[in-house]
Structure 1
Amino acid sequence: MFRKGSRNTGQDADGMRQFWLVVLASLWIATVCNVALWRELGRLPDLSAGQAVTISIALGLVIALATIALLSLLAWRWTLKPVITIFLVSAALGAYFMMAYGVVIDQTMMVNTLQTDVRETRDLLNWRLLGTVAALAVLPGYFLWRQKVRRKGAARQVLANAMTLIGACALLVLVVMLFFQSIASVMRNYTHVRYLINPLNSFYALGSIAAKPFQRDETTILPLGKDAKLGASYTAQAKPPLLLLVLGETARSGNFAINGYNRPTTPRLARENIVSQHNAWSCGTSTAASVPCMFSNFGRDAYDSRPANYEGLLDVLQHSGLAVLWIDNQSGCKGACDRIPSVDTTQLKVPGLCDGGECFDEVMLQGLDERIAALPAERRAKGVVVVMHQMGGHGPAYYKRSPAAFKKFLPECTSNSLQSCDRAALVNAYDNSIVYTDHLLGATIDWLKTQEARSAPAMLYLADHGESLGENNLYLHGMPYGIAPDVQKRVPWITWLSPQFEQRSKITTACLKQQLDAHVSHDNYFHSVLGLMNVQTSVYQPALDIYAHCAQP
């Protein structure tokens, strides 16, 4: 049963030592799987070639030793190979997305990943992704699973893992001390570099997300604006207000012709008497960050550090007695609509609008009269607020966001591997999504005009974030806010008021047009909507209402 000369010691003397599997996997991850990091270090303008090489070696050692230390905690008989496989797959996926789209991985990006639905996942799949995972994870994984691993008794395994952990940590401290000045300088001057350390960036982000319940109770929603009531404009009103809030997705303010873009992307809106803010900024660089923030009363600076979770804008509107409805053609409302009536249009089967596994945004206007009529009559008599959450210009498959009739700019990129596309074709595909958004907003205004006989309609369009289209080799969105380019943070904010709404609100389009260049942001959204609807509550701040200065007494 045993080899000649060996003794039955309760362990298997054949095969590779666990220590060497941990070391080899860590070195592979620290070197090959961190190409995005090495590429970025080589591009930093203040580093000479020699400095870049030195810092790359130092960071490579730091990543390898930190990975060895982490794996030593998990290197047990039944967990070793599965855990290393998870590390390899995580590193391969991180390497692909950082290399392909120029993104970094932080807490916000990880939240986006966790909340990605099937449609969004499908849009990201391509042969480059599969090839990267095969090369960086499948091949070393195949080698890993082919190896016979020496087994140790429990006591010896604990001792070996402890020694590995202590040794790795000691060497890690030594490397950091030797190269501290260089590493600290790079991390301080180029903060985005720390988010490229793969896959430790992903694990750190997951840990931060997991720690959130210890920072505040995520299961409890505290009430907000329970004192909300309707203002004087509702007294003996002839027509109740009807406000349609269009929540845009992935829209760059600079790509709207009405904001000065040199391509005719918004011909439909150009024919309407609208107000388009030229200097509007988002709360975050992703849907998961921006939507909860913009529907809250905290504002960007206070939102992440809020002591507890509270109800939001739509709850306050509902507390006031108004009828509220959320219509979603995206991946959900991120908690903003959890306590109000809502409709999901993503699974509808409307010919011409829902072909190819998803629905174009215009589907949200289908049957809208009936959806509103289904709301409580006593609330509808006071007023209605409807939110339409767009698919908009969601990438990377921009070409899927516009029907054939709205593809004004050709040829367009028809791949989700954006770096392989000619940039002109990429911009064409994205601009076509703006052309279709322009059509949707025009159709929404047309529908609102049909309601003028029985209501006072208005529309407010605001996007959640912008997008990078290859500038400085960045694609998509989701960069940490402090280092994100302006194109990911500057968003369109468009207002249309019917004559009836102007009359009841005393807010005129002519007055609003005098403040087109004023700095506004998602921080203003909560208070501006309450102001438009003349909802009085202690949580309303007139100073943050961008329409208040035009409200005539």
Structure 2
Amino acid sequence: MEAKGISVAEFSLSEPRHKTRPQIGSVTLSVLVALYLLFATNQTFWMKSAKYFALDLFALAALIIGLSAGFIALFTPLSQKFIAKPVFIFCILAAAAASWFIDRFGIVIDAEMIRNAVQTTPTEAGHLITPGFLWHMLIVGVVPALLVGWVEIRHRPFWSKAAHNLAVVLPCLIVFALAGYSHFKTFAGIFRQHRELAQMINPILPIGNAIKYAVRTTEEQNIVTRQLGTDAHRLTPVGRIAKPRVTIVVVGETARAANFSLGGYARATNPELSKLDVVYFPNTTSCGTATAVSVPCMFSVYPRQAYTHRKGLETENLTDVLAHAGINVSWWDNNTGSKQVADRIATVSLSDSGDTRFCTGDECRDGILLDRLDAWLDSVKQDSVLILHQIGSHGPAYYARYPEKFRVFAPDCRTGELSECSSEEIVNAYDNTILFTDHVLAGIIGKLEDRSDKMAGAMFYMSDHGESLGENGLYLHGAPYFIAPDVQTHVPFIVWMGKDFTASMGLDTACLAETANAPRSHDNLFHSVLGMMNVATSVYDPSLDVFAPCRSNRAS
């Protein structure tokens, strides 16, 4: 078939194909992506900037102009063929996810926050994957990412692209530098005073901190743990008490001192413990603001100021020193693991038990600790330390941490999407978790008292970190320590000892009560537990043992 002398085949070859996708220059796309990320995924950064720069609007304008130029200068060189789309799409999705947690919870995504997130359980992570999060990811992340993937990018020849990119990047860098220099004194003062502000620039800091975490994790894989306290041995208890001496160390989770009625909180969140002969230390601070930091730190021989994650891995901890002394040491976990603290001792993961009376998926309420405790106590034949790692008050699903019986404070927030609850509902749910922890701790003490004829028992409770419940726009925990509010670092610390246990230490309980108001911290746990178990070793420091000043005789 022919038309006007032109065959169908010739017509098909000569006609240009219809363009179904819009085209865009590589630099233009880079600029659009850079500005989208800067202004669409940095809501918290810009809100805080507007507040902090309220008295100098010219400095705020310089900040906007300078960062815009800086982002363009950063993303333009990435607009290379085969690189631009994957990198831009990754940055958009990462920024969308990060912006949700930064904007909703006020958190800073540093390397330790990423470590904490990586080590969480699927169920715990699931509490954060709410419908609101999914909608946010769709609108802020997926749709823009699809648009980037859909458009066709026009790329210049290599040398032309290099020259063109340079013509964009150099002026942007100059503008960035001039903007910073123009109000340097203001910028220096505000960013020094509000150090969290720079940490919130998304996605630059989150991605950079993820890389930092990956590098550190790779370096840590070849660490060999060195022994500690191999000279440890048990001293004869005062009075030569023959019964096994048993200490149950309870590692609390996300319990903040501000909500413990033992420390003066107006609500009766500790009704059971308040009736028992416990010593409460009201001025105790944590080593970190997240489990992945605090748990290994609190069992480490290093004080907070000297502790690093690497040191914690390189050196044995309290559990090892107790084992060197011939004490039976076990770790029961009802959380996200021991963070390598219990790698060399007997461990039990209760969240894997599948006990439907207490568990849903891989999460269990702390009632399972009490349920399993009787059998363990009845099997004790020697001096022992049992460490119980609670799920405690871990958020945002506070409602999942306590049974129906403990919904005393109502109405309580019944979702992990805290934005759907009022401040009162969030606090009510959180206070119910503290109420249930009170019941668990009192139950442990009761079980030890019931066996006082067979063993000398004690309980040592200390939370790993606190929690923000909306104060100053912050929720959950994990803030960098240098900017962390008091509610994330001020933690409850409680000790109970049976009569025989107290006697075996030569402890003056009146003295202990009188000194309880002194400043305490996670630094005290290592040495205080050694002191409780009458362990002598060269690594024991009596100045960090909270009981040492009140002991008439440390044993022999």
TM-score between the two structures when normalised by the length of structure 2: 0.90
Q: Is the 8 A contact 1:61 1:175 kept in 2?
A: no
- Corresponding residue number in structure 2 for 1:377: none
- Corresponding residue number in structure 1 for 2:26: 18
Distance between the aligned counterparts of 1:154 and 1:170, measured in 2?
24
- Corresponding residue number in structure 2 for 1:185: 189
Superposed, 1:134-533 pairs within 5 Å as 134-151=138-155, 169-212=173-216, 219-233=223-237, 237-304=241-308, 309-355=314-360, 358-371=363-376, 381-533=381-533
Q: Tell whether 2:55 aligns with 1:48.
A: yes
Secondary structure of 1:302's partner?
A: coil
Name which of 88, 91, 110 aligns with 1:87.
Answer: 91
Distance between the aligned counterparts of 1:274 and 1:66, measured in 2?
61
Q: Is the 8 A contact 1:101 1:419 kept in 2?
A: no
Distance between the aligned counterparts of 2:269 and 2:393, measured in 1?
13
* Shift, 1:182, TM fit: 3.0
Distance between the aligned counterparts of 1:163 and 1:320, measured in 2?
69
Q: How many residues are aligned here?
A: 538
* Shift, 1:470, TM fit: 0.9
Q: Compared with structure 1, are the counterparts of its residues 104 and 206 closer, same or farther at alpha carbon in structure 2 (3 Å cutoff)?
A: same
305-314 or 91-100, which moves further after superposition?
Answer: 305-314
Secondary structure of 2:452's partner?
A: coil
* Shift, 1:418, TM fit: 1.8
- Corresponding residue number in structure 2 for 1:128: 132
Distance between the aligned counterparts of 1:47 and 1:3, measured in 2?
64
Q: Compared with structure 1, are the counterparts of its residues 328 and 357 closer, same or farther at alpha carbon in structure 2 (3 Å cutoff)?
A: closer
Distance between the aligned counterparts of 2:35 and 2:155, measured in 1?
23
Deviation digits for residues 7-37 of structure 1, max 9, x if unmatched?
Answer: xxxxxxx932322222211110011111111
| Matched residue type, 2:284 | A
Q: Tell whether 2:39 aligns with 1:31.
A: yes
Q: Is the 8 A contact 2:332 2:349 kept in 1?
A: yes
Distance between the aligned counterparts of 1:324 and 1:305, measured in 2?
23
* Shift, 1:171, TM fit: 4.6
Deviation digits for residues 287-320 of structure 1, max 9, x if unmatched?
Answer: 1111111110111100028767211111111111
- Corresponding residue number in structure 1 for 2:7: none
Q: Is the 8 A contact 2:350 2:368 kept in 1?
A: yes
Q: Compared with structure 1, are the counterparts of its residues 546 and 62 closer, same or farther at alpha carbon in structure 2 (3 Å cutoff)?
A: farther
- Corresponding residue number in structure 1 for 2:5: none
Deviation digits for residues 169-221 of structure 1, max 9, x if unmatched?
Answer: 45543443344333222211211111111111202322332443698786221
In structure 2, runs of 5+ residues without a counterpart are 1-9, 17-21
Secondary structure of 1:222's partner?
A: coil
- Corresponding residue number in structure 2 for 1:68: 75
58-67 or 455-464, which moves further after superposition?
Answer: 58-67
Q: Is the 8 A contact 1:410 1:425 kept in 2?
A: yes
| Matched residue type, 2:57 | G
* Shift, 1:78, TM fit: 2.7
Q: Compared with structure 1, are the counterparts of its residues 150 and 535 closer, same or farther at alpha carbon in structure 2 (3 Å cutoff)?
A: same
Q: Is the 8 A contact 1:101 1:475 kept in 2?
A: yes
Secondary structure of 1:219's partner?
A: coil
Secondary structure of 1:112's partner?
A: helix
Q: Compared with structure 1, are the counterparts of its residues 176 and 442 closer, same or farther at alpha carbon in structure 2 (3 Å cutoff)?
A: same
Distance between the aligned counterparts of 2:381 and 2:270, measured in 1?
34
Secondary structure of 1:221's partner?
A: coil
Distance between the aligned counterparts of 1:115 and 1:200, measured in 2?
23
- Corresponding residue number in structure 2 for 1:11: none
Matched-pair identity in %: 36
Distance between the aligned counterparts of 2:308 and 2:483, measured in 1?
17
Distance between the aligned counterparts of 1:17 and 1:351, measured in 2?
58
Q: Is the 8 A contact 1:248 1:463 kept in 2?
A: yes
| Matched residue type, 2:110 | D
203-212 or 224-233, which moves further after superposition?
Answer: 203-212
Distance between the aligned counterparts of 2:87 and 2:268, measured in 1?
53
* Shift, 1:126, TM fit: 1.6
Secondary structure of 1:244's partner?
A: strand
* Shift, 1:65, TM fit: 3.4
Q: Is the 8 A contact 2:69 2:173 kept in 1?
A: no
- Corresponding residue number in structure 1 for 2:3: none
In structure 1, runs of 5+ residues without a counterpart are 7-13, 375-379
Distance between the aligned counterparts of 1:119 and 1:406, measured in 2?
22
Secondary structure of 2:190's partner?
A: helix
Distance between the aligned counterparts of 2:254 and 2:58, measured in 1?
38
Distance between the aligned counterparts of 1:158 and 1:151, measured in 2?
11
* Shift, 1:109, TM fit: 1.7
Q: Is the 8 A contact 1:31 1:60 kept in 2?
A: no
CA-atom RMSD in angstroms = 2.8
Q: Kindly name which structure, 1 or 2, has the bigger radius of gyration based on alpha carbons.
A: 2
Q: Compared with structure 1, are the counterparts of its residues 226 and 160 closer, same or farther at alpha carbon in structure 2 (3 Å cutoff)?
A: farther
